[in-house]
Structure 1
Amino acid sequence: MYQYDTYDQTLVNERVAQFKDQTQRYLAGDLSEDEYRPLRLQNGVYIQRHAPMLRVAIPYGMLSARQLRTLAHIATTYDKGYAHFTTRQNVQFNWIPLEKIPQVLDELAQVEMHAIQTSGNCIRNTTTDQFAGIAADEVADPRPWCELIRQWSTLHPEFAFLPRKFKIAVNGAKQDRAAVQVHDIGLELVQGAQGLAFKVWVGGGLGRTPLIADVICEALPWQHLITYLEAILRVYNQYGRRDNKYKARIKILVKALGVDTFRARVEQEWQELKDGPSTLTEQAVTYAARFFHEPARTQGVDTQAFEQARAQNKAFSRFVTNNVQAHKVSGYAAVTLSLKHPSHAPGDINTQQMTLVADLAESYSLGELRVSHNQNLVLADVRLDQLFELWQILDQHQLASPTVGTLQDIICCPGGDFCNLANAKSIPIAQAIQAKIDDLDYVYDLGPLDLNISGCMNACGHHHIGHIGILGVDKKGQEFYQISLGGRSGNQANIGKILGPSFAQEAIPEVIAKLLAVYVAQRHPEETFVDTYHRIGAKPFKEGVYA
């Protein structure tokens, strides 16, 4: 994984010192709240319902064991013994006192981590496939390109005060696991006529106005990646609305201009940048790629014991079916550690578990791990002959729920328990659904099913692209929940449709059960929930719920 050079470390250290001084001046009364707000946001600090929230960047979702141990130390020393992994592959702490945050940032800097641009109207953390570099269907490894984008976008003076926050995702595989079509910019690695290229999507996003992105370039040669991104950002910076934050995202600009006009303006801007100093060279790409080299993996791994354990142990077999991903190298697998145990909020992990996972990453996965968009962790290089042993340890520490990709693998924002913006709580809804539908045989029979929950229209839980989406709404001071169906991410991305009037909190588990009953009654063999919905439409589901 990427390691800081002298420039990186100096920049981050100076940023920490700067923010420490700014915070001390604010606490002393020398900076007003209005003066301090943009400064703290630039360093990932939000003021939430109960305490400041610090969002720490995990570039393209990659963590080392050493870094995870530092996160565990921070959770123990400054927080309440846990952390929360987000849908953007970042990590959040919800209880750190404001005066302690500069010290936390200093400790993060010592292990090559930071909170720069995890908030504010700037380019946020670039995300990618959690299986990048090991997936069998990969066209090219997206991580070097993510790193190049990170270096280009970090503290870029021209893009530090955009009309609104800006998110970029990169996918390198045939199957889109990075949700590129619902990002401000989505980049898809393809093989073009002249070699490796990028299919460029612009104008996707969720929130108040959910939209699927449009393609503005089918095959951008890799050398022009940064200059083309600069052209897009310049057009957005110049024409994006600043008078209304609800209409300030680039998706609104693309829709208002029309994709053809937007593309033409980007092309015009690009002509001034094309072949300029930001053009990528083979040397620059090679330098970035060297941090993501192929590790020394064991050849000829004996898988006989693995196959035997899978055949003889039903619980282990379930875990393999749902939580283990095929690896491009024979004898290896990627293992997803579920953070969806019913005893805690989805995406949460306690200090003991973080320390354990760091140990397991070193013992079983070459010292590295990944954060997934589904708020789980991934050990990406596990030998099959060690998988049963690993599973036994995970099972002892509530990290082996064999439910990845099922109804129980709920994506959920922190909601009204923490967030000032939320209209309703999210976490109790997720836990109530898990308690209501806890028969694993039934859950497995339902097949792949994405259930996403957001506490407000900002859609941090990505409810718009859940097969079943749940949105918290406020009805005269009461918490209600709106259901949408049929959303998808991936290659066939689309926005879900609202089912009808919202429901009270206590009704939601039964509503979900009724929706599932309709699916079971109506499905064809081998048909998933979302496929059934798109075949039969909303009417049978409405009748099943509202009748």
Structure 2
Amino acid sequence: MYQYTDFDRQFVHQRAAQYRDQLERHLGGELSTDDFRPLRLQNGWYIQRHAPMLRVAVPYGELSSRQLRQLGRIAREFDRGYGHFTTRQNLQYNWIPLERSAEVMEALAAVDMHGIQTSGNCIRNITSDAFAGIAPDELVDPRPYCEILRQWSTLHPEFAFLPRKFKIAVTGAEEDRAAIGWHDIGLQLRKNAAGEVGFKVLAGGGMGRTPIIGTVMSEFVPWQRILVFIEAIVRVYNRYGRRDNMYKARIKILVKAEGQKFVDAVNAEYEAILKHDVDGEAQIVPQSEFDRVAASFVVPAGVAARQGSGDGAPADAPPAYRRWLERNVHAHRLAGYRAVTLSLKRAGQAPGDATDAQMDAAADLADRFSHGELRVSHDQNLVLPWVLESDLFALWQAARDNSFATPNIGFLTDMIACPGGDFCGLANARSIPVAAQITERFEDLDELYDIGDIDLHISGCINSCGHHHSGHIGILGVDKDGAEWYQVTLGGSDGSTLSGAATPGKVIGPSFAADEIADVIEAVIDTYRGQRSGASERFIDTVRRVGIDPFKAAANAVRRSTAPAHAA
């Protein structure tokens, strides 16, 4: 993990002190609500439906056990005892009183954390593969580059007030587990024929009202020049992106409208930056700086490849353990080690939520089994990256005792969901009750194993924080005359090997009422089971083979059988 320098630490503590001064002036009447708003947003503080919401940055998803315990303490002492891990590897709190927000900023700074640039029209938290540095299919570890990007983009004066928010994702593996095609900029590390490291660069991806997959800007940018190339992209966007209409202000709209002209403008800006670099001030990353940062991303002390360690399980280990091994335990680049997902998906708890006690328990598991390190995944779970095979049975027992061992990773109930209308002032409908209904409907593990791998994503509004566009099954909350309705899409993909090339799902008809949605999903699943060519054909492959019409007919039958007027 990256280790803060004295400068880094001084920076976040000064920022916390600045925020305390701003808050006190606001509470004292010296700063109006309008004047205070951009100041709090720059530090991750929103005012949501019921209370302030804080978004805490977890850069590229890496957490230490010490940091997670502090997040648990904040949940316990300042919030209502829980937090919510998001698809962008952040943590959100929903109930912290604004007058105590400066205390929270100071508590975060004490463990090298903050909420800087988790909001606002700036470059947001850099995200990456939760298995970075440990995945067997990894070509280049993306974490040092993510950290360099984080430092470069933090408080970048030219990009503090972009036309709209800006998100960057990075992967270094053959399989895209960071959904780079869906981001404003997507970066894929690769090596050329000479073995040199560089980036394939995409730009203009995004969800929201207009789902678009990113356009390739360059097949190979040398890693030393990647900041220059990104700066060229963001400069062109900053110059020409629309500011007159927030719904058309994202870079995806500009890239789609301009096409090759945008690519040409970026390349021209890139060359101009390099050409005019007479003083050597262009953002060329020197080898010495890369080496300094990369020194933090090494194998923990005591970790080394081992042979024939086994999983430590007795011969009569229960079937539940075997299922957990199959679904929650992942291959590792080091022999004798595994990565393990701690599931945050279970009945009675919103997807991605973790209580203060669970955060403490996960931190304990990290200390005991993973050298004090965890990851936040794109799928809103936690990952232990350094687990010995011989410790797996003991870890399963401890994870089970703390409600982390649900063997459903990749299944229907391992769904992505935003907080929705229960918390977010932007949401048109609630996500959490829908997630709960589906979880209860498909709680039988034997049935989940028969159904197989399915990505189900739920968003409470068109802002798409639940990434519904990229779900094999997507659910979008919409408003109809003050009532909650839900639109269903099929066939979306985030770009992973399981899902295929990134693509938005297709709508299967008019929206459904809240009390219909679980029945609709069941009808879709039943149709899949009837249409699949064999038990091994996955849901997404069946949808692509037969098309959406059979699923659409089954879903519409649910609407007609329950309330004909809903089709209006």
- Taking structure 2 as the reference length, the TM-score comes to 0.94
**Distance between the aligned counterparts of 1:522 and 1:306, measured in 2?**
41
The superposition leaves residues 108-153 of structure 1 with CA deviations (integer Å, 9 ceiling, x where unpaired) of 1011001000000000000000000000000100000000000100
Partner AA of 1:341 in structure 2: R
**Distance between the aligned counterparts of 1:273 and 1:446, measured in 2?**
53
Structure-2 residue corresponding to 1:522? 531
Structure-1 residue corresponding to 2:563? none
The superposition leaves residues 475-515 of structure 1 with CA deviations (integer Å, 9 ceiling, x where unpaired) of 11110100000000125110001110111111111110000
Report the alpha carbon displacement of residue 313 of structure 1 after superposing the two structures with TM.
2.0
Q: 1:333 aligns with which of 320, 338, 345?
A: 338
Q: 1:541 aligns with which of 546, 551, 554?
A: 551
**Distance between the aligned counterparts of 2:368 and 2:403, measured in 1?**
19
CA contact (8 A) 2:204 2:212 kept: yes
Structure-1 residue corresponding to 2:504? 495
Structure-2 residue corresponding to 1:3? 3
**Distance between the aligned counterparts of 2:311 and 2:520, measured in 1?**
44
**Distance between the aligned counterparts of 1:167 and 1:395, measured in 2?**
35
Structure-2 residue corresponding to 1:170? 170
Are 1:221 and 2:222 matched, yes or no?
yes
Q: 2:411 aligns with which of 385, 406, 421?
A: 406
**Distance between the aligned counterparts of 1:370 and 1:505, measured in 2?**
34
Q: Could you say if the C-alpha distance between residues 105 and 3 of structure 1 is closer, same or farther in structure 2, counting changes exceeding 3 Å?
A: same
Report the alpha carbon displacement of residue 307 of structure 1 after superposing the two structures with TM.
6.2
Report the alpha carbon displacement of residue 306 of structure 1 after superposing the two structures with TM.
3.6
The superposition leaves residues 336-356 of structure 1 with CA deviations (integer Å, 9 ceiling, x where unpaired) of 000011111111111111111
Structure-1 residue corresponding to 2:191? 191
Report the alpha carbon displacement of residue 305 of structure 1 after superposing the two structures with TM.
5.0
CA contact (8 A) 2:304 2:334 kept: no
Report the alpha carbon displacement of residue 272 of structure 1 after superposing the two structures with TM.
2.2
Report the alpha carbon displacement of residue 297 of structure 1 after superposing the two structures with TM.
1.1
Report the alpha carbon displacement of residue 299 of structure 1 after superposing the two structures with TM.
4.4
Q: 2:357 aligns with which of 348, 352, 372?
A: 352
Report the alpha carbon displacement of residue 527 of structure 1 after superposing the two structures with TM.
1.4
**Distance between the aligned counterparts of 2:415 and 2:305, measured in 1?**
37
Give the secondary-structure state (helix, strand or coil) at the position aligned to 2:53. strand
Report the alpha carbon displacement of residue 29 of structure 1 after superposing the two structures with TM.
1.5
Are 1:121 and 2:121 matched, yes or no?
yes
The superposition leaves residues 273-303 of structure 1 with CA deviations (integer Å, 9 ceiling, x where unpaired) of 2264311121111111100012231543543
**Distance between the aligned counterparts of 2:393 and 2:217, measured in 1?**
47
Report the alpha carbon displacement of residue 193 of structure 1 after superposing the two structures with TM.
3.5
CA contact (8 A) 1:301 1:383 kept: no
Q: 2:306 aligns with which of 300, 303, 308?
A: 300
1:378-389 → structure 2 map (5 Å cutoff) = 378-389=383-394
Give the secondary-structure state (helix, strand or coil) at the position aligned to 2:84. strand
Structure-1 residue corresponding to 2:399? 394
Are 1:249 and 2:250 matched, yes or no?
yes
Structure-1 residue corresponding to 2:143? 143
CA contact (8 A) 1:190 1:198 kept: yes
Q: Could you say if the C-alpha distance between residues 415 and 228 of structure 1 is closer, same or farther in structure 2, counting changes exceeding 3 Å?
A: same
CA contact (8 A) 2:305 2:334 kept: no
**Distance between the aligned counterparts of 1:488 and 1:392, measured in 2?**
34
**Distance between the aligned counterparts of 2:317 and 2:169, measured in 1?**
41
Report the alpha carbon displacement of residue 397 of structure 1 after superposing the two structures with TM.
1.4
Q: CA RMSD in A?
A: 1.2
Partner AA of 2:547 in structure 1: G
**Distance between the aligned counterparts of 1:250 and 1:444, measured in 2?**
40
Structure-2 residue corresponding to 1:422? 427
CA contact (8 A) 2:419 2:432 kept: yes
Are 1:465 and 2:507 matched, yes or no?
no
**Distance between the aligned counterparts of 1:533 and 1:506, measured in 2?**
25
Give the secondary-structure state (helix, strand or coil) at the position aligned to 1:72. helix
CA contact (8 A) 1:301 1:385 kept: no
Identity %: 56
Deviates more, 1:478-487 or 1:438-447: 438-447
Deviates more, 1:414-423 or 1:189-198: 189-198
Partner AA of 1:493 in structure 2: A
Partner AA of 2:386 in structure 1: D
1:415-454 → structure 2 map (5 Å cutoff) = 415-454=420-459
Q: 1:373 aligns with which of 359, 375, 378?
A: 378
**Distance between the aligned counterparts of 1:344 and 1:498, measured in 2?**
28
**Distance between the aligned counterparts of 2:395 and 2:294, measured in 1?**
30
Structure-2 residue corresponding to 1:232? 233
CA contact (8 A) 2:311 2:391 kept: no
**Distance between the aligned counterparts of 1:215 and 1:415, measured in 2?**
33
| Alignment length (residue pairs) | 545
Partner AA of 2:205 in structure 1: G
Give the secondary-structure state (helix, strand or coil) at the position aligned to 2:296. helix
1:74-153 → structure 2 map (5 Å cutoff) = 74-153=74-153
Partner AA of 1:536 in structure 2: V
CA contact (8 A) 2:305 2:337 kept: no
The superposition leaves residues 377-397 of structure 1 with CA deviations (integer Å, 9 ceiling, x where unpaired) of 000110011110111111111
